[in-house]
Amino acid sequence: GEDVEQSLFLSVREGDSSVINCTYTDSSSTYLYWYKQEPGAGLQLLTYIFSNMDMKQDQRLTVLLNKKDKHLSLRIADTQTGDSAIYFCAEQGGFKTIFGAGTRLFVKA
């Protein structure tokens, strides 16, 4: 069945760039998403990319999609302590969305 995999942890220094990676298995995915979850809160949609795009930039966020390798990445420029959270990759094919287990981003001051 469909699966989404992410590394569990990432630690960066404040001001550096963060790159969070994700791989997925469903080649018929139409949309791919990045969500952010802060402690005690629900998931917040950060950005999304259509499967026919390679890249999308939104302020400090850059999403790269390699459809051939089924690899998605989220780059956060100038990472701040407020970016510390869990980041979930999700892929949507049809009406179903599958989430990864999340990458916990630690930002050191």
Partner 1 sequence: EAGVAQSPRYKIIEKRQSVAFWCNPISGHATLYWYQQILGQGPKLLIQFQNNGVVDDSQLPKDRFSAERLKGVDSTLKIQPAKLEDSAVYLCASSGRSNYGYTFGSGTRLTVV
**Residues binding partner 1 (CB under 8 A):** 4, 31, 33, 35, 40-45, 48, 88, 90, 95-97, 99-102
Q: How far is CA 54 from CA 1, 12, 21, 72, in A?
A: 25, 25, 15, 9
CB closer to partner 1, 33 vs 79: 33
Please state the closest distance from residue 93 (CB atom) to partner 1, in A.
13
> Looking at beta carbons only, is 4 or 76 nearer to partner 1?
4
Q: Which residues pair with 106 in a beta bridge?
A: 11
Q: Quick one: CA torsion of 3, 105, 36, 84, rounded to 10 degrees?
A: 170
Q: Residue 42 or residue 82: which is nearer to partner 1 going by CB?
A: 42
